[in-house]
Structure 1
Amino acid sequence: MSEVNFNSRAFTYVDSALVQKSASEVLLNLLSIKPGEDVLDIGCGPGHITKKIAHITEGTVMGIDISQGMIEQAVSSNQEFTNLTYSVMDAENFELPVNFDVIVCNSAFQWFQKPEQSLTCCFNTLKQGGRIGVQAPATSLYCPNFVAAIEKISLHPSTREIFKYFKSPWLFFESKEEYEQLFRSCGFDIMYSELRDESNLFSVEQAYKIYQSGAENGYLNQSFYTVTLTDDYINSFRELVKEALKEQSDDSGMIDLKFKRIYIIAKKQGVLKSREC
């Protein structure tokens, strides 16, 4: 069985993560990073957003990710910035010797199983008055198109038995108020929050690549099943997803791909007590 996770996607992620890149532009605009600010990019993947940040500021820029493959790809593609470094690090348990003005977390927060612990680490890593910006898919209907495809998986004779043993790895809240409360409980003041409905037209092939860049790393990851995945299951799963996306396309072969996304900008105020990351 071929392994399905972010390590295996390191070389293709930049080309297929279309919606993550467009959402990152919204997030960076909301953060308004200033020249000279020090910035930490959490869940940086292969570093394409981190390099964009290094274009904005001459301050220290660092990208961290739990995936060794993603960091290796980020390091190998960084030939131009002397202020930019990368490191393999767990966002739920990290400590750095320097503090940052800004933390960016783009399309990664949904993977955090211990969000309070992650935000505590972020709080401790920010300078006083520093800010954190998070963008992530949100709610159980994070992408109605993908949810409909997975419903097909759960019912089809070739996949339904093994799919019963899938346990979702994602953190989804159903309202922006729940996200706000989480950040406040970790010591942050909310500067901005919005739960947005976003949609864009993509070809079936593009929509499938977008699915593979994110969602498939959960749905076909052995770590999130209590039974062993087989190549037949993985192949059938993929074909059914392609079929479902094709069924959603219009006469011109385009899909209106919809996402619900949370955008939060929060500021560190005061000192967080009695917590360790």
Structure 2
Amino acid sequence: MSTISKNIVTIQNSKEYNRIAHVYFNRKYTNSGNSYDIDLKTYIKPGYFILDFGCGPGNNFNFLLSCKPKLLVGVDISQKMLDYANLDVKNNSVIKLIRSSFEEFKINIKFDFILAHLSFVHVQPENLDTILIKCFGLLNGDRYFFANYFEGNDEIKIMESEWDNEKEVKRYFCFLKKQTLERAYKKAHFEIKKIFLSEGKSFNRINIIAKKP
């Protein structure tokens, strides 16, 4: 298992997401709708408090708002991403935006649904237990949590890509075994209700719907 300092990963990924935030926004991923390989509306009821953990420029907001939440909290490590998200939601009192890492996030609210769509792909294996235990603590009982991960061999890699005019964008991604995820969810006291693999263009995703008993 490869390990890299959490600070190095956080600083590098934050810097690069700040750099490509305008590309995310201009590509209008905010209009992507429900692209989670599963019907999440089954698990979300009107009036819920929802946490979008790693919200970017609001990629998931259109879908989540269609579920009619009472409160939608978007958290991201990139201030630039949140600045772009705010362009679309600044007049919406339902939405609250917070800049924070997963590890440092604190709030005096319990949520009814937590979404981590392609954001926990940056969580290293040795930090997974801590993050999942945090999610368990943030969730109300008898409520659900959806996250997806890149399938792999419990390792972290720095991947280089191009985003329009932004060249040599280097971000750290983590690739996890299904068994590693199952052990971590069990340790955090989640009940895994559904776990399935979906094929991506570059990487396969492990998708997990879990419930807090």
Q: TM-score, normalised by structure 1?
A: 0.59
Q: Would the alpha carbon gap of residues 258 and 31 (structure 1) be closer, same or farther in structure 2, given more than 3 Å must change?
A: farther
Counting only pairs closer than 5 Å after superposition, residues 165-176 of structure 1 correspond to structure 2 as: 169-174=172-177, 176=178
Q: Would the alpha carbon gap of residues 192 and 30 (structure 1) be closer, same or farther in structure 2, given more than 3 Å must change?
A: farther
| Alpha-carbon contact 2:150-2:174 (below 8 Å) kept | no
| Alpha-carbon contact 1:188-1:267 (below 8 Å) kept | yes
Q: Report what 2:22 is aligned to.
A: 11
Q: In structure 2, what residue type is equivalent to 1:120?
A: I
| Alpha-carbon contact 2:103-2:130 (below 8 Å) kept | yes
CA deviation after TM superposition for structure 1 residue 115, in Å: 1.6
Q: Report what 2:166 is aligned to.
A: none
Q: Report what 2:96 is aligned to.
A: 85
Q: In structure 1, what residue type is equivalent to 2:18?
A: N
CA deviation after TM superposition for structure 1 residue 4, in Å: 6.0
Q: Would the alpha carbon gap of residues 261 and 16 (structure 1) be closer, same or farther in structure 2, given more than 3 Å must change?
A: farther
- Distance in 2, Cα, partners of 1:17 & 1:181: 36
CA deviation after TM superposition for structure 1 residue 171, in Å: 2.2
| Alpha-carbon contact 1:31-1:133 (below 8 Å) kept | no
Q: Report what 1:37 is aligned to.
A: 48
| Alpha-carbon contact 1:31-1:265 (below 8 Å) kept | no
Given the alignment of the two structures, is residue 119 of structure 1 paired with residue 132 of structure 2, yes or no? yes
Given the alignment of the two structures, is residue 260 of structure 1 paired with residue 209 of structure 2, yes or no? no
1:177 is matched with which residue: 176, 179, 182? Answer: 179
CA deviation after TM superposition for structure 1 residue 70, in Å: 0.8
| Alpha-carbon contact 1:135-1:264 (below 8 Å) kept | yes
1:136 is matched with which residue: 121, 125, 149? Answer: 149
- Distance in 1, Cα, partners of 2:211 & 2:147: 12
Q: Report what 2:191 is aligned to.
A: 189
Q: Would the alpha carbon gap of residues 117 and 28 (structure 1) be closer, same or farther in structure 2, given more than 3 Å must change?
A: farther
User: Who wins on radius of gyration, i.e. which is larger?
Assistant: 1
- Structure 1: state its 5+ residue gaps: 141-146, 151-165, 199-256, 270-277
**Deviation per residue, 1:51-80 (Å, 9 max, x gap):** 420221232111001111111111122145
Q: Would the alpha carbon gap of residues 49 and 97 (structure 1) be closer, same or farther in structure 2, given more than 3 Å must change?
A: same
Q: In structure 1, what residue type is equivalent to 2:139?
A: L
Is the helix fraction higher in 1 or 2? 1
Q: In structure 2, what residue type is equivalent to 1:98?
A: I
Given the alignment of the two structures, is residue 103 of structure 1 paired with residue 111 of structure 2, yes or no? no
Higher relative contact order (CA closer than 8 Å, sequence separation 6+) = 1
Given the alignment of the two structures, is residue 62 of structure 1 paired with residue 6 of structure 2, yes or no? no
CA deviation after TM superposition for structure 1 residue 22, in Å: 7.3
**Deviation per residue, 1:163-211 (Å, 9 max, x gap):** xxx9x8332113x23212211111111010012224xxxxxxxxxxxxx
Identity over aligned residues, as a percent? 26
- Distance in 1, Cα, partners of 2:62 & 2:96: 10
Runs of 4+ off more than 2 Å? 14-18, 21-32, 168-171
The number of aligned residues is 184
CA RMSD across the alignment? 2.9
2:61 is matched with which residue: 24, 32, 50? Answer: 50
Q: In structure 2, what residue type is equivalent to 1:191?
A: K
- Structure 2: state its 5+ residue gaps: 1-13, 154-158, 162-169
